[in-house]
């Protein structure tokens, strides 16, 4: 094996450009003049939003080009070996240079047992004698902290949870004892508590093995936790590079600053600062600075000449002519503090009383054998009251039942038990039984606008649905009202004739917001409305929602897995685990102490874009597929579990004051004392 001297970088990318040829025959670059050097043992973060080219760059580093792409210039070397040459590349891939993919669930071969997949990597890249492979596989599984590694060997990938699949992918990458790991969004899609565990594992591996890491992510918090050096990508080029501290604390590129300012702050009820505009389509960049069209500091020169990477005022290098001015742009804690709403003493606009929902469907066989009905419904005992103009945040990880609750309010799923009322009048359980006038008052906004907007309808037709149904608008009146609605979500009237596919993700979600507000609703139900969006776009949609509900005093139930996003918008917060309420109360109280152990674990696992912030790993890292039939829903993962009582009795609701309720067998005072201790 050829050992490169210290002078040869482990990964050396020089002036690399990659692109594709459009149907019109034009060469469109996806990566432009990338220069990146990774030395032994270094941890480098590649940060950017969707379409920035960061994943393409990571794959090119392995000598792999996605279909249709070709190298336009420059080179990639791994320890001196040309990765674009073809010869000898396969021996390096998966061995000295290994990839950890974004979605391990899809990247592991579904028909091969986990043990065999890792053993395959050993066979290809390890010098270990064949006889020792089986033992080594178990060792690797143990090294990525998987429980019962011996038993996992014979499992298939789909039998594992997302976090476990990701660990298997890491174990597979480690099999060849790599000198460098490429990590392509390795924790995206994982729950926040699982993500924190996986990141700690990666940090420890980097520290203990001396492996170099290239960590590709849109998440500045994850990068801050793992990487010493960070490169920020925008529209296929590196716009800033420096130490993690330089980039995160004193970024001198306007885009990097904007990106950081757009991240919600956990500690305060503050709206993040949005970045206006949208990034150029891949390949569609002109002569000047690619960020200039969105940049508040852009001057005439920015539009004509693309800058070179120059030393930045805050350290590192930056591709910006106005870097000196950029360091004075607003940062993360400069967003507007959200104003608390005044509530009149009146009753609630929406009330849920002990709602339970079950998805269990009985097959023909179940009916014949009279199998018992669902004993532990996915959602149970949900009681809450929404006041006019108020925003309640429903927080929880996947499987917490938060979306299910919204669907049952909207009447899409009939609840198993319990009742819902709208301003004191009982709502029929299903949509079909509800009056159109009642339906108008409750509107739903979905997570992914690609799914919630009919791809075959123009924006005009989409907006015409509620306007026609609820207000009977047509013709010129309909068009005028539609333009008015688009203006409210800051889109021009010319969007009316477009199809959703012609809009960006953020624009589509604004149309979805406009469609909901077209009904002039009393209550808007928001289901993870920003989680499909990039962080800069998310900030804009959050600001828009806050403006709209403020202007119209629309009450809102805002469902999210992201505690920062909920903090930015919610007056009150309800924390859910496995379809049961753990804690509820005013946002300040829920985000403060004392906390339910699950809230404590969630808050502890949140990552901050700050190199000095360390998450606390509290909850056991296991995945549950359903609530337990008895006792506390959180009993199996709780780090403060008392014992038998947690498994047998439903936890009591302790009211601490001002509507702050914690459902736990541990008294709030005891919790407060334990949590205040360092």
Partner 1 sequence: MGVLRRMLARPSGAIGFAFVLLHLAAAVLSPWLVPYEATAIDAALMFAPPDAAHWLGTDQLGRDILTRTMLGGREALLVTLIATPLAVGWGALVGIHLGLAGGRLDDVLMRVVDAVLALPWILKMLVIIVTFGAGVTVLVPTLAFFYGVPVIRVARAATLGVVARDFISAARARGHRPGAIVRRELLPNVLDALMVEGAMRWSWMLLAFSSLSFLGFGVAPPTPDWGLMIADSRSFMAIAPWAAMAPVLALSTLIIGINFVADALAKAVGLDRALNAPH
Partner 2 sequence: MLRLVLNRLLLGLVTVALASAIIFGAVEALPGDACVAVLQRDAVGQRLANCRHDLGLDRPALTRYLGWAAGAVQGDLGVSAGSGRPIAALLGERLRNTLLLAGLTLAVGVPLALLLGVLGGLRRDGALDIVLSTGGILAMTIPEFVSATVLIFVFSIWLGWVPGIVVAAPGAPLADFFPGIVLPVAVLTMVMTAHILRTIRSSVIEVMASDFVRMAVLKGVPYARIVWRHALPSALLPAINVIALTIAWLLGGVVVVEKVFNYPGLGRFMIDSITERDLPVVQALALLVASVYVGVNLAADLLTLLLDPRLRTHRAGG
As measured in angstroms, the least distance from the Cβ of 298 to partner 1 is 38
Q: Which of 125, 270, 278, 510 binds partner 2 (CB under 8 A)?
A: 125
Q: Does 156 bind partner 2 (CB under 8 A)?
A: yes
Q: Which is nearer to partner 2, 287 or 366 (CB)?
A: 366
The listed partner (partner 1, partner 2, none) that binds 444, CB under 5 to 8 Å by sort, is partner 1
What does the chain come to in residues?
A: 678
Select 149 or 242, whichever has its Cβ closest to partner 2.
149
422-457 exposure pattern, b = at least 16 Cβ within 10 A, e = fewer? bbeeebebeeeebeeebbbbbbbbbbbbeebbeeee
What residue spans of 227-262 are helical by DSSP H?
244-249, 254-261
To partner 2, the closest distance from the beta carbon of 120 in angstroms equals 7
Could you tell me the smallest distance in angstroms from the CB atom of residue 53 to partner 2?
17
Nearer to partner 2, 208 or 367 (CB): 367
- β partners of residue 352: 384, 420
625 binds, among partner 1, partner 2, none (CB under 5 to 8 A by kind): partner 2
- Under the criterion CB under 8 A, does residue 161 sit at the interface with partner 2? yes
112: partner contacted, choices partner 2, partner 1, none (Cβ within 5-8 A by kind): partner 2
**Site of interaction with partner 1 (CB under 8 A):** 364, 407, 410-412, 431, 434, 436, 439-440, 442-444, 446-448, 451-457, 461, 465-466, 469, 515, 519
Angle at 88 between CA 73 and CA 131, to 5 degrees: 145
Q: Quick one: 61 or 244, whose CB is closer to partner 2? A: 61
Q: Which of partner 2, partner 1, none interacts with 106 (beta carbon under 5 to 8 A by kind)?
A: partner 2
Nearer to partner 1, 434 or 498 (CB): 434
Q: Which of 23, 208, 363, 437 binds partner 2 (CB under 8 A)?
A: 363
Q: Give, as one character, the DSSP assignment of residue 149.
A: H
Residue 300: count other Cβ atoms within 10 Å of its Cβ.
9
Q: Which of 5, 68, 86, 110 binds partner 2 (CB under 8 A)?
A: 110
* Among partner 1, partner 2, none, residue 110 binds (CB under 5-8 Å by kind): partner 2
452 binds, among partner 1, partner 2, none (CB under 5 to 8 A by kind): partner 1
Alpha-carbon distance values, 539 to 373, 535, 545 (Å): 44, 6, 10
Q: At what angle do helices 535-552 and 254-261 cross, to 10 degrees?
A: 50
Cβ-based nearer residue to partner 2, 119 or 275? 119
Tokens 């709209």 locate to 548
Q: Decide: is 265 part of the binding site for partner 2 (CB under 8 A).
A: no
93 binds, among partner 2, partner 1, none (CB under 5 to 8 A by kind): partner 2
User: Least CB distance from residue 411 to partner 1, whole Å?
Assistant: 7
Q: Among 13, 92, 266, 298, which residue interacts with partner 2 (rule: CB under 8 A)? A: 92
275 in Cβ contact with 540 (< 8 Å): yes
* 585 scored as a contact of partner 2 (CB under 8 A): no
**Does the protein bind partner 2 through residue 23 (CB under 8 A)?**
no
Measured from the CB of residue 146, what is the shortest distance to partner 2 in angstroms? 9
Verify binding: residue 148, partner 2, rule CB under 8 A: yes
Q: Which residue has the tokens 């006792």?
A: 631
**Cβ at position 521, least distance to partner 1 in Å:** 10
Q: How far apart are CA 182 and CA 180, in angstroms?
A: 7
62 touching partner 2, by CB under 8 A: yes
**Smallest separation, CB 327 to partner 1 (Å):** 43
Token representation of residue 447: 């997570």
Nearer to partner 1, 337 or 501 (CB): 501
> Please, are residues 601 and 214 in contact by the beta-carbon 8 Å criterion?
no
Contacting residue, 22, 106, 419, 433, with partner 2 by CB under 8 A:
106
Query: Which positions from 163 through 202 interact with partner 2, judged by CB under 8 A?
Result: 164, 172, 176
* Cβ proximity to partner 1, 337 vs 428, nearer residue: 428
Q: Which does 161 bind (CB under 5 to 8 A by kind): partner 2, partner 1, none?
A: partner 2
Closer to partner 2 by CB, 493 or 626: give it: 626
Assess contact for 538 and 371: CB atoms under 8 A: no
The least CB distance from residue 431 to partner 1, in Å, is 5
For residue 504, the 8-state DSSP code is -
Q: Which residue has the tokens 């690399």?
A: 16
Among 65, 623, 653, 672, binds partner 2 (CB under 8 A): 623
3-state secondary structure 271-284: CCCCCCCCCCCCCC
111 binds partner 2 (CB under 8 A): yes
User: Would you call 234 helix, strand, or coil by DSSP?
Assistant: strand
**Structure-token match 């739903």, residue found:** 444
> What is the torsional sign of CA 551, 554, 560, 562?
positive
Distance CA 288, CA 475 (A): 44
211: left (phi over 0), alpha (psi -120 to 50) or beta: beta
Let me know if 1 is exposed, middle or buried by CB neighbors in 10 A (0-12, 13-18, 19+). Answer: exposed
The closest alpha carbon to 401, from 594, 592, 624, 586, belongs to 624
Computed from CA positions of residues 361, 366, 367, 372, in that sequence, does the dihedral angle turn out positive or negative?
negative
- 85 contributes a contact to partner 2 by CB under 8 A: no
Smallest distance, partner 2 to C-beta of residue 225, A: 25
> CB–CB of 60/18 below 8 Å?
yes
Q: Rule CB under 8 A: is residue 94 a binding residue for partner 2?
A: yes
Q: CB-wise, 340 or 431, nearer to partner 1?
A: 431
CA angle 305, 310, 312 (to 5 degrees): 120
Residue 466 binding: pick among partner 1, partner 2, none (C-beta 5-8 Å cut-off by kind): partner 1
Taking the CA atoms of residue 337, residue 534, residue 184 and residue 198 in that order, the dihedral angle to the nearest 10 degrees is: 40
> Does 112 interact with partner 2 (rule: CB under 8 A)?
yes
What's 577-641 look like in SS3? ECCEEEEEEEHHHHHCCCCCHHHHHHHHHCCCCCCCCCCCCCCCCCCCCCCCCCCCCCCCCCCCC
Both tokens of 635, joined, read 């009993």
- Asked whether position 624 contacts partner 2 by CB under 8 A, the answer is yes
Per partner kind, with CB cut-offs from 5 to 8 A, the member of partner 2, partner 1, none near residue 90 is partner 2
* Smallest gap from residue 413 Cβ to partner 1 (A): 10
Residue 477: how many other CB atoms lie within 10 Å: 12
Among 21, 109, 433, 474, binds partner 2 (CB under 8 A): 109
Residue 397: Cβ within 10 Å count = 21
Please tell me the chain's helix, strand, coil percentages from 3-state DSSP, rounded to the nearest 5.
35, 20, 45
Point out which residues bind partner 2 (CB under 8 A): 59, 62, 64, 67, 90-95, 98-99, 101, 103, 106-112, 120-121, 124-125, 147-148, 155-156, 158-161, 164, 172, 176, 363-366, 368, 622-625
């Amino acid at each position: 094996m050829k050992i490169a001297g210290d002078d040869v970088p482990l990964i050396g990318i020089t002036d690399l450009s990659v692109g594709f040829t459009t149907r019109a025959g034009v060469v469109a670059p996806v990566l432009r003049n990338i220069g990146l050097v990774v030395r032994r043992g270094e941890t480098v973060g590649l940060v950017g939003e969707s379409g920035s080219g960061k994943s393409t760059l990571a794959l090119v580093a392995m000598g792999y080009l996605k279909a249709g792409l070709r190298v336009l210039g420059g080179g990639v070397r791994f320890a001196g070996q040309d990765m674009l040459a073809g010869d000898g590349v396969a021996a390096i891939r998966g061995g000295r240079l290994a990839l950890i993919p974004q979605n391990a669930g899809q990247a592991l071969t579904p028909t091969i047992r986990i043990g065999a997949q890792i053993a395959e990597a050993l066979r290809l890249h390890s010098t270990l004698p064949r006889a020792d492979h089986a033992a080594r596989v178990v060792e690797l599984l143990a090294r990525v902290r998987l429980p019962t590694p011996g038993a996992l060997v014979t499992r298939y990938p789909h039998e594992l949870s997302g976090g476990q699949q990701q660990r298997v992918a890491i174990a597979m990458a480690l099999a060849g004892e790599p000198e460098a790991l490429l990590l392509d969004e390795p924790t995206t899609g994982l729950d926040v508590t699982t993500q924190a565990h996986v990141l700690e594992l990666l940090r420890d591996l980097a520290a203990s093995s001396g492996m170099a890491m290239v960590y590709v992510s849109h998440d500045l918090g994850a990068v801050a936790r793992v990487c010493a050096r960070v490169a920020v990508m925008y529209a296929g080029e590196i716009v800033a590079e420096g130490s993690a501290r330089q980039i995160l604390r004193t970024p001198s590129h306007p885009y990097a600053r904007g990106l950081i300012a757009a991240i919600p702050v956990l500690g305060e009820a503050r709206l993040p600062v949005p970045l206006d505009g949208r990034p150029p389509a891949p390949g569609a960049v002109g002569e000047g600075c690619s960020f200039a069209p969105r940049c508040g500091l852009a001057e005439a020169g920015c539009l004509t000449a693309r800058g070179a990477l120059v030393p930045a005022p805050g350290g590192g290098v930056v591709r910006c002519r106005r870097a000196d001015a950029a360091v004075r742009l607003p940062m993360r804690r400069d967003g507007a503090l959200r104003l608390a709403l005044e509530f009149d003493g009146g009753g609630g606009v929406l009330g849920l009383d002990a709602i339970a929902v079950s998805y269990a469907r009985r097959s023909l066989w179940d009916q014949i054998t009279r199998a018992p009905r669902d004993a532990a419904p996915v959602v149970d005992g949900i009681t809450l009251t929404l006041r006019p103009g108020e925003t309640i945040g429903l927080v929880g990880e996947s499987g917490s039942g938060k979306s299910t609750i919204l669907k049952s309010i909207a009447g899409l799923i009939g609840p198993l038990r319990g009742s819902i009322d709208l301003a004191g009048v009982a709502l029929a359980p299903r949509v079909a039984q509800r009056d159109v006038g009642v339906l108008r008052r409750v509107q739903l906004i979905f997570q992914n606008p690609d799914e919630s907007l009919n791809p075959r309808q123009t924006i005009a037709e989409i907006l015409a649905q509620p306007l026609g149904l609820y207000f009977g608008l047509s013709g010129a009146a309909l068009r005028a009202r539609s333009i008015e609605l688009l203006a409210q979500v800051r889109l021009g009237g010319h969007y009316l004739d477009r199809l959703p596919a012609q809009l960006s993700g953020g624009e589509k979600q604004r149309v979805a917001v406009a469609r909901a507000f077209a009904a002039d609703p009393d209550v808007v139900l928001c289901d993870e409305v920003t989680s499909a969006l990039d962080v800069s776009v998310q900030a804009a949609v959050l600001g828009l929602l806050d403006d709209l509900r403020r202007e119209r005093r629309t009450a809102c139930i805002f469902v999210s897995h992201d505690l920062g996003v909920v903090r930015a918008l919610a007056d009150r917060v309800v924390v859910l685990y496995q379809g049961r309420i753990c804690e509820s109360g005013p946002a300040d109280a829920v985000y403060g102490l004392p906390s339910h152990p699950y809230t404590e674990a969630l808050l502890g696992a949140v990552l901050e874009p700050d190199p000095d912030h360390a998450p606390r790993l509290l909850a056991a890292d296991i995945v549950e597929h359903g609530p337990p039939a008895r006792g506390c829903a959180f009993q199996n993962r709780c780090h403060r579990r008392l014992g038998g009582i947690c498994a047998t009795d439903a936890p009591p609701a302790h009211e601490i004051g001002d509507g702050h309720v914690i459902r736990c067998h541990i008294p709030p005072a005891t919790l407060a004392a334990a949590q205040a201790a360092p």
